C-alpha cells in the first residue's frame, strides 16, 4: 500500500512538472532571444548579450501609436461593458420572468462565438446602418459585445450571494431607491465591479481576433504585433514579449496577493 | 405582466428600470441581434458593384453558401478545420483532466496557490505571443532543429511548418488552459468524502473517476470542450503565424474575402463557422446531458 502511494506521488509530480515545462519553456526561450545580438530571433548561436532590441522597439513610432490606440479602446470598453454587465446581472438575478433563461442564453452567446464572427458582424453593422466604417469605435463595440458577457457573469456570481433582506429592511425604514442602491447594493457589488473592470481592460488589451476584423485600417497593439510577426520577424518583438511577460507576472502576483487578503478577511 | 412590472418598480425604482433597459437593451439589440442579422443578410446577397446595390440584381441567393461545397479546396479546408479542432479539443481534455483533478482534490494550501498562479501567468499572456513562441521553436533555424542537429538525429533542418502539424501544435499550446479552469471549477465542488468512501469500499481509481468524478465534472468538461473547440475553429493567429503556404485555413479564407472586399462571401463563410460552433455546443450539451443554465456555474 505504502509503496504504491509513493509511486503515485512520483508519477503525479512528474506529470505536473512536465506540464509546467511545456507551458513555460517556450515562453522562456522567447524571452531569452530578446537579449541575443543575432538579428535573426534565435537562442543558438549566442552572438553576445545586448539590450539594443529594446531600444529598437522603443524607437518604433508605430508601436507607441498602437499602444495609445489600445489604451483608448480598452478605456471605452471598460466604460461600456461594466455598466452593461451590471444592468444585465441585476435583471437576471433579481427578477423572475418566463423568458429569463432564453435571455440569459442569448446574452452569454457572444462568449461562445468565435471572435472573428463578432468582429465581422460589428464591422458590417456599423458600416451599413450608420455609415461608420471600421476604426477604433467599431473595435470598441465588437470587443464590448463579448466582454460585457464576462462582466455580467462576474457580477452575477457576487449578486447571487446578496442578502435581499438588507434592502427590504432599508425600504421598510423609508429609504429611497437611490439611497438603497448607493448605500447597500453598490458597496456590496464593489469588489465584483472592480474585478469586472480589470478583466474587461485586460481582455480588451489582449484582443486580436475580433479587433482584426472590426478595426479597419487602424491598429491596436495586438494588431501591430500580428502584422509584425507575419512579415519580417525581428528580435524587437521578443523584447516586446519580454515586457508583456514581465507585466503579466507582476499582474498575477498582485492579483494573488489581493485574492489571499480577501480570503483571509472572510 | 403587471405583477412583473410591480416587482420591478418595487426593487429598482423608475431610474433603476431605465438603467437596466438602456444597458441590456443596447447590448441585446445593437451589439448582438442587429449585427448578426445584418451579417446574415449580407451572406444571402450577391457581390455587386456599389451602383447596382438595391437594383434588380440585388436579390437573395444561396450562391455564397453553395460555393463552399462546390469548391473542392474550400470544402477540404473546411473539413480540416473541423477535424483539427476536434483533435485540439481531445488532446487538451486528455492532458488537462489529471491536472485539474490534482488541483481540485489533491493539492492544498500554499502549494495550490502557487500552481494556480503558474497556470494564470501563461493564461494571461497574449495569444499572439504564445503562438510566436512556437514560431521560434519550429523555425528552420529554430530551437527544435538546432537540438535535433546537435544530437545528430537529423543532418538537415526539417521544415516543421509544412503541413498542418505546426498550426495544430500552436493551437493546442495557446488554448489548452481554457480547458484546465472549467474542469478545475467543476471538480472543486465535489465532496472529497464521496471519493474516500468509494475508495474505502474497494473501488479502483478508474471506477471512482468513471462513476463519481466525471459525472460530477460534466458541466466543466462541456464548457472546456466548447471553449477550446470554438477557439481552435475560429483561430486566425495560429494559421497566420504558423501556417505555411501549403496549409491554408478556413479563417484565412474569410480574412482574404474581407481583404478583397468580398463581404458577402466572407459573411456566408462566417455564418457557416458560427453554425459549426452552434452544432458543437448543442452536441456537447446533449452528450453530457447538461442544461444551458449549468454552463456558467
Q: Residue A3 — pLDDT band, cuts 50, 70, 90?
A: low
**How large is the ipTM?**
0.86
Assigned domain for B56 exists: no
Q: How many residues does chain B have?
A: 297
Residue B277 is nearest to which of A22, A113, A230, comparing CB atoms? A113
Q: CB of A36 within 8 A of CB of B143? A: no
Assigned domain for B99 exists: yes
For cell 502557487, the residue is B114
The SS3 call for residue B200 is helix
Total tally of structural domains belonging to chain B: 1
For cell 405582466, the residue is B1
Mean pLDDT lowest for which of A82-91, A119-128, A246-255, B140-149? B140-149
Residue predicted with more confidence, B195 or A220: A220
Assigned domain for B130 exists: yes
Nearest in space to B101 (alpha carbons), one of B192, B173, B174: B192
**Is A145 close to B31, i.e. CB distance below 8 A?**
yes
Domains of chain A in start order, with CATH, are 63-235 (1.10.3720.10)
Output the average pLDDT for chain A.
Answer: 85
Assigned domain for B246 exists: yes
Assigned domain for B273 exists: yes
The SS3 call for residue A220 is coil
Rounded Cα distance between A96 and A94, Å, is: 7
Rounded Cα distance between B23 and A167, Å, is: 23
Partnered with residue A36 across adjacent β-strands are: A49
A147-193, pLDDT tens digit by residue? 999 999 989 888 888 877 888 888 888 888 888 888 888 888 888 89
Computed on alpha carbons and rounded to an integer, the radius of gyration of chain B in Å comes to 24
Which pLDDT value is given to residue B295? 61
Average pLDDT, integer, range A195-211: 90
**Is B231 close to A248, i.e. CB distance below 8 A?**
no
B93-123, pLDDT tens digit by residue? 999 999 998 888 887 777 888 888 888 888 8
Rounded Cα distance between B70 and A204, Å, is: 38
The torsion angle over the Cα atoms of residues B30, A153, A213 and A73, rounded to 10 degrees, is 90
Assigned domain for B229 exists: yes
Q: How far is CA A101 from the centre of its chain?
A: 26
Using a CB-CB distance cutoff of 8 angstroms, which residues of chain B are in contact with residue A12?
98, 102, 106
Using a CB-CB distance cutoff of 8 angstroms, which residues of chain A are in contact with residue B125?
27, 244-245, 248
The SS3 call for residue B63 is helix
Q: Which three cell numbers stand for residue A115?
A: 471572435
Question: Rounded to whole angstroms, what are the CA distances from A117 to A77, A112, A120, A126?
Answer: 18, 11, 5, 14
Rounded Cα distance between A210 and A200, Å, is: 14
Rounded Cα distance between B181 and B217, Å, is: 12
Which pLDDT value is given to residue A261? 75
Sort residue A134 into left (φ over 0), alpha (ψ -120 to 50) or beta.
beta
Which pLDDT value is given to residue A114? 92
Which pLDDT value is given to residue A132? 83
Using a CB-CB distance cutoff of 8 angstroms, which residues of chain A are in contact with residue B30?
125, 141
> CB distance from B253 to chain A under 8 Å?
no
Task: Compute the nearest-CA separation of A187 from chain B (Å).
Answer: 16
Assigned domain for B35 exists: no
Helices (H), ranges, chain A: 2-33, 52-58, 61-94, 100-108, 115-129, 136-159, 164-172, 177-180, 186-206, 209-214, 221-230, 235-265
Question: Tens digit of pLDDT per residue, chain B (297 long)?
Answer: 677 777 777 777 778 888 888 999 999 999 999 999 999 988 888 887 777 777 777 778 888 888 888 888 888 889 999 999 999 999 999 999 999 988 888 877 778 888 888 888 888 888 899 998 888 888 777 778 778 887 877 777 777 777 788 899 999 999 999 999 999 988 888 888 888 888 888 778 888 888 888 888 888 899 899 999 999 999 998 998 888 777 788 999 899 888 888 888 889 999 999 999 999 988 988 888 777 666 654
Q: CB of B44 within 8 A of CB of B64? A: yes
Expressed in angstroms, the distance from the first to the final Cα of chain A is 39
Task: Enter the pTM of the model.
Answer: 0.89
Backbone angles phi, psi at B260, to 5 degrees: -95, 15
Question: Rounded to whole angstroms, what are the CA distances from A198 to A95, A251, B59?
Answer: 27, 10, 46
Q: What is the CATH number of the domain that holds B241?
A: 1.10.3720.10
**Is A117 close to B12, i.e. CB distance below 8 A?**
no
Using a CB-CB distance cutoff of 8 angstroms, which residues of chain A are in contact with residue B127?
206, 208
Return the residue of A nearest to B117 by Cα.
A252
A24-36, pLDDT tens digit by residue? 988 888 888 888 7
> CB distance from B65 to chain A under 8 Å?
no
For cell 437611490, the residue is A178
Backbone angles phi, psi at A233, to 5 degrees: -90, 120
Assigned domain for B54 exists: no
For cell 501556417, the residue is B243
Per the structure, the complete domain to which residue B200 belongs is given by: 67-296
Residue A264 pLDDT exceeds 70? no
Contacting residues for B295 by C-beta, under 8 A, at least 6 apart: A108, B219, B222, B223, B226, B285
Nearest in space to A116 (alpha carbons), one of B280, B92, B164, B256: B256
Q: CB of B60 within 8 A of CB of B284? A: no
Q: CB of A111 within 8 A of CB of A190? A: no
Q: CB of B42 within 8 A of CB of A124? A: yes
Average pLDDT, integer, range A63-70: 90
For cell 512536465, the residue is A18
- Exposure string over B144-163, b if 16+ CB within 10 A, otherwise e: ebbeebeeeeeeeeeebbee
DSSP state string for A50-78: --HHHHHHHT-HHHHHHHHHHHHHHHHHH
Amino acid at each position: 500500500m505504502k509503496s504504491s502511494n509513493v509511486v503515485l506521488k512520483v508519477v503525479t509530480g512528474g506529470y505536473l512538472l512536465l506540464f509546467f515545462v511545456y507551458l513555460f519553456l517556450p515562453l522562456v526561450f522567447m524571452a531569452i532571444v530578446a537579449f541575443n545580438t543575432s538579428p535573426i530571433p534565435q537562442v543558438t548561436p549566442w552572438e553576445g548579450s545586448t539590450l539594443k532590441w529594446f531600444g529598437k522597439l522603443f524607437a518604433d513610432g508605430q508601436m507607441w501609436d498602437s499602444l495609445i490606440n489600445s489604451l483608448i479602446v480598452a478605456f471605452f470598453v471598460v466604460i461600456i461593458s461594466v455598466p452593461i454587465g451590471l444592468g444585465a446581472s441585476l435583471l437576471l438575478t433579481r427578477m423572475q420572468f418566463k423568458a429569463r433563461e432564453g435571455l440569459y442564453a442569448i446574452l452569454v452567446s457572444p462568449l461562445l462565438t468565435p471572435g472573428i464572427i463578432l468582429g465581422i458582424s460589428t464591422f458590417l453593422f456599423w458600416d451599413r446602418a450608420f455609415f461608420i466604417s471600421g476604426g477604433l469605435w467599431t473595435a470598441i463595440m465588437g470587443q464590448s459585445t463579448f466582454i460585457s458577457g464576462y462582466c455580467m457573469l462576474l457580477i452575477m456570481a457576487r449578486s447571487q450571494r446578496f442578502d435581499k433582506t438588507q434592502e427590504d429592511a432599508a425600504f421598510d425604514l423609508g429609504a429611497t431607491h437611490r439611497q438603497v442602491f448607493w448605500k447597500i447594493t453598490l458597496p456590496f457589488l464593489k469588489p465584483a465591479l472592480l474585478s469586472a473592470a480589470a478583466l474587461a481592460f485586460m481582455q480588451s488589451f489582449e484582443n486580436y481576433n475580433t479587433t482584426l476584423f472590426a478595426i479597419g485600417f487602424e491598429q491596436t497593439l495586438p494588431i501591430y504585433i500580428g502584422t509584425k510577426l507575419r512579415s519580417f520577424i525581428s528580435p524587437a518583438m521578443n523584447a516586446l514579449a519580454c515586457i508583456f511577460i514581465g507585466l503579466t507576472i507582476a499582474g498575477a502576483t498582485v492579483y494573488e496577493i489581493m485574492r489571499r487578503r480577501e480570503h483571509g478577511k472572510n | 405582466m403587471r405583477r412583473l412590472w410591480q416587482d420591478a418598480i418595487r426593487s429598482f425604482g423608475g431610474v433603476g428600470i431605465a438603467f437596466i433597459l438602456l444597458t441590456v437593451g443596447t447590448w441585446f439589440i445593437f451589439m448582438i441581434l442587429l449585427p448578426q442579422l445584418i451579417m446574415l443578410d449580407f451572406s444571402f446577397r450577391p457581390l455587386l458593384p456599389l451602383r447596382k446595390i438595391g437594383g434588380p440584381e440585388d436579390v437573395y441567393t444561396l450562391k455564397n453558401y453553395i460555393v463552399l461545397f462546390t469548391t473542392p479546396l474550400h470544402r477540404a479546408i473546411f473539413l480540416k478545420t473541423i477535424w483539427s479542432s476536434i483533435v485540439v479539443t481531445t488532446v487538451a481534455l486528455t492532458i488537462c483532466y489529471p491536472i485539474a483533478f490534482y488541483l481540485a482534490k489533491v493539492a492544498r494550501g500554499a502549494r495550490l496557490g502557487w500552481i494556480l498562479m503558474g497556470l494564470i501567468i501563461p493564461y494571461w499572456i497574449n495569444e499572439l505571443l504564445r503562438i510566436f513562441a512556437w514560431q521560434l521553436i519550429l523555425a528552420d533555424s529554430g530551437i527544435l532543429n538546432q537540438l535535433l542537429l546537435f544530437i545528430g538525429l537529423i543532418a538537415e533542418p526539417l521544415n516543421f511548418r509544412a503541413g498542418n502539424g505546426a498550426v495544430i501544435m500552436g493551437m493546442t499550446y495557446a488554448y489548452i488552459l481554457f480547458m484546465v479552469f472549467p474542469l478545475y471549477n467543476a471538480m472543486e465542488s465535489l465532496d472529497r468524502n464521496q471519493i474516500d468512501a468509494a475508495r474505502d469500499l474497494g473501488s479502483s481509481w478508474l471506477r471512482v473517476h468513471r462513476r463519481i468524478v466525471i459525472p460530477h465534472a460534466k458541466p466543466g468538461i462541456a464548457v472546456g470542450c466548447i471553449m477550446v473547440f470554438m477557439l481552435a475553429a475560429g483561430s486566425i493567429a495560429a494559421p497566420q503565424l504558423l501556417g505555411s503556404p501549403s496549409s491554408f485555413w478556413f479563417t484565412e479564407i474569410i480574412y482574404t474575402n474581407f481583404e478583397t472586399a468580398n463581404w458577402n462571401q466572407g459573411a456566408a463563410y462566417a455564418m457557416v463557422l458560427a453554425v459549426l460552433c452552434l452544432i458543437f455546443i448543442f452536441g456537447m450539451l446533449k452528450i453530457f446531458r447538461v442544461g444551458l443554465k449549468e454552463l456558467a456555474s
